[in-house]
Amino acid sequence: MKYFFLFATLIYSFTLSAQEYDRLNIDLLGRWSVPTEKEEEFGTRYSSCWAFEYNGREYAIVGCGNGTAYIDITDPKNPVFIDFVPSNIKDAIWREYKTYKHYAYHVSDDGGPNTFDIVDFSYLPDSVHVVYSGSKEYFRTGHTIFMDSDKMYIGLHNHRSMSVFSMENPVDPKFLRLLSSDYPGDVHDMFVRNDTVYASKGFEGALQIMTFKDDKFTQIGNFTNYPFAGYNHSSWLTPDGKTLIFTDEVPKSLPAKSLDVSDPSNPILLDTFYSQSGRATLHNPFESPNNTFIMTSYKDGVQVFDYSDPGDIKLRGYFDCYPQQDGEATDGDYDGAWSGYAMLPSKNMIVVDISNGLFVLDATKAYYPETNTVKAATKAIKLETYPNPSTDAFYLKVPEGLKGPMEVRIVTLSGQLVYQNILEASLMAKHRFNTNTYSPGTYIITLKHGKDIYSSEQIIVK
């Protein structure tokens, strides 16, 4: 049976590799989706994903309608199906995953009576073994799952609140507490580090910051009534613990936010930002290399953002894995990229698209942008900037007729990159380029749109 799946995967990947995807600084390596012969058994709607390395090989966990697929992505250009874990429920549209030691944990909030699975993947690359699937009830449904050290957090535990379990025994989690025992309200998703919990509270439009110690929750901060507030959906904390990136899912097409949480009792909004089209619904943020994070967004694919300056989040690259709709017509509705993972040893990224399945991507150019664009600029079309010379800021005059996303870079005459971002044309025309921290001198401004490059020299004076 494995040979059939390998053959089907190779044929499918070859057929789709020639398909052109709207992208910038992110390249397609490989793809996997359910073969036609298995669509009824596995289901054709995809949801979340996770990835991990085990014994020198890399694997993707892919949520399918009727269960979960395990895919070997060690050779990213040729993803290989390994095993499938059928779920107690079918036609599920929500599944989430995390790993702990050599186990994977599956949750879903579609129906019941029990949607929690524990899978031992120590038998890979041969297969995976289910060690728990409903023989006792830890919870009937769970919408999201997070692992922090030896604790497991479940969002919307039985459609309500948030629960915590001890993972002292990985195959028999021990229930510790429900958030509702200490504070009211539901939790859609949570990011937890060292027992500090950043809880996205859904329609409350609030981000609650708590500690969980001695089996009790204690609130230390709360963030609400912020611009573009909606259904507070999910978050990710930078490694230094100072900045939280979070999203609001409903209503559609809201910007994501960066939040200063260096003092959790006084969170401060730093920036709001969009996908490359400015119209998609930003869904889930995750860590990626070199001061970047990835953001999966409905109908606009995945983006790589730079948070080096958390008050000015910059787009480094994107890959639209939902070619069924032109990016300029993106309406924010719910299809396209659901989830991703970017911290594998290979630095390859995985993304799962609701309609199109698993994508394995190379985002090296987005994580580590080029530092020298002067040579390219010498062959560029003339670009206008104003005012020029400038002191504190300048603007670009976007050439007439240009639409869609474009990349702008500012470099010194010696080739040092001092600024890079990707903005949609209408946003670029209004963007203020602040230069009050730049040293006086001449800078090369390049604007890339498709294969065309526009260039200008900008003089900064004090």
Q: Give tens-digit pLDDT for 24-64.
A: 999 999 999 999 999 999 999 999 999 999 999 999 999 99
Categorize the per-residue pLDDT at 328 as very low, low, confident or very high, splitting at 50, 70 and 90: low
Q: Give the model's pLDDT for residue 8.
A: 47
Q: What is the mean pLDDT of residues 314-341?
A: 84
Strand runs (DSSP E) across 55-102, as ranges? Answer: 57-64, 67-72, 80-86, 96-100
Q: Give the model's pLDDT for residue 135.
A: 83
In the predicted model, is pLDDT for residue 7 greater than 90? no
Q: Give the model's pLDDT for residue 327.
A: 54
Strand runs (DSSP E) across 158-291, as ranges? Answer: 160-166, 174-178, 189-193, 196-200, 206-213, 216-224, 232-237, 243-248, 256-260, 268-273, 281-288
* Short-list 378, 375, 452, 370, CA closest to 409: 370
Q: What is the mean pLDDT of residues 185-203?
A: 97
Categorize the per-residue pLDDT at 372 as very low, low, confident or very high, splitting at 50, 70 and 90: very low
Categorize the per-residue pLDDT at 371 as very low, low, confident or very high, splitting at 50, 70 and 90: low
Residue found under tokens 């996770």: 50
Q: Which two tokens stand for residue 102?
A: 């050599």
pLDDT in tens, 117-142: 999 999 999 999 999 998 889 999 99
| Strand duo 80-86 + 96-100: pairing | unpaired
Give dist(CA 110, CA 141) in Å, integer: 7
In the predicted model, is pLDDT for residue 400 greater than 60? yes
Q: Residue 378 burial (CB < 10 Å; 0-12/13-18/19+)?
A: exposed
- pTM (two decimals): 0.86
Of the listed ranges 259-273, 276-290, 415-429, the one predicted with least confidence: 415-429
Centroid of chain to Cα 351:
8
| Residue 184, φ and ψ in degrees, nearest 5 | -80, 170
CB atoms within 10 A of CB 294: 31
Categorize the per-residue pLDDT at 417 as very low, low, confident or very high, splitting at 50, 70 and 90: confident
CB atoms within 10 A of CB 312: 15
Q: Give the model's pLDDT for residue 379.
A: 62
In the predicted model, is pLDDT for residue 354 greater than 90? yes
Calculate the average pLDDT of the chain.
91
In the predicted model, is pLDDT for residue 397 greater than 80? yes
Categorize the per-residue pLDDT at 19 as very low, low, confident or very high, splitting at 50, 70 and 90: low
Give dist(CA 159, CA 176) in Å, integer: 18
* Short-list 305, 304, 318, CA closest to 270: 305
Give dist(CA 98, CA 85) in Å, integer: 15
Total residue count of the chain as it appears in this document: 462
Enumerate domains of the chain plus CATH numbers.
2-367 (2.130.10.10), 374-460 (2.60.40.1930)
Q: Which residues on neighbouring strands pair with residue 386, listed in sequence order?
A: 395
Distances (CA, A) of 245 to 97, 323, 456: 20, 27, 33
In the predicted model, is pLDDT for residue 111 greater than 90? no
In the predicted model, is pLDDT for residue 4 greater than 60? no
Categorize the per-residue pLDDT at 427 as very low, low, confident or very high, splitting at 50, 70 and 90: confident
